[in-house]
């Protein structure tokens, strides 16, 4: 479980180095308007991601399913707000490239870590 925590946390920290992601974090709600509040959001994200491994995410009554729904809803709201309020020249906020990078940062590191552990063992 430590490797999941570490990989997720590193991925969240790396997201801060993607300018468009940081802009979305800072502008998509008054709750996350400072770097400190983004740090608190990262810890909240880490807690969410840990619940995804605790039970069956496909069971509609499970904690992980509710967490995934909550995270998805938050991302949809943030992207809708950004596209409505802050026009981005040439593309939309939350385009496929940005989403692919964010997904890799959150899960790619974990997959890479698990692959290397399996290979060594």
Alpha-carbon distance of 50 to 8, in angstroms, equals 9
What was the pLDDT predicted at 116?
64
Q: Is the pLDDT of residue 58 over 90?
A: yes
Q: Where are the domains of the chain?
A: 2-120
Q: What is the mean pLDDT of the chain?
A: 79
Q: What is the pTM of this model?
A: 0.72
Lowest mean pLDDT among 11-15, 42-46, 94-98, 109-113: 109-113
| Burial readout 86-121 (b: 16 or more C-beta within 10 A, e: otherwise) | eeeeeeebbeeebeebbeebbeebbeeeeeeeeeee
Cβ contact 77:55 at 8 Å: no
């Amino acid at each position: 479980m430590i490797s999941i925590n570490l990989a997720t946390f590193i991925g969240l920290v790396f997201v801060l180095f993607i300018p468009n992601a940081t802009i979305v974090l800072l502008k998509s709600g008054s709750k996350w308007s400072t770097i400190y509040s983004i740090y608190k959001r990262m810890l909240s994200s880490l807690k969410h991601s840990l619940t995804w491994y605790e039970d069956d995410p496909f069971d509609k009554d499970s904690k992980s399913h509710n967490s995934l729904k909550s995270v998805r809803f938050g991302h949809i709201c943030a992207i809708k707000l950004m596209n409505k309020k802050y026009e981005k020249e040439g593309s939309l906020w939350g385009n496929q490239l940005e989403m692919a990078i964010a997904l890799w940062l959150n899960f790619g590191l974990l997959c890479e870590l698990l692959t290397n552990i399996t290979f060594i063992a």
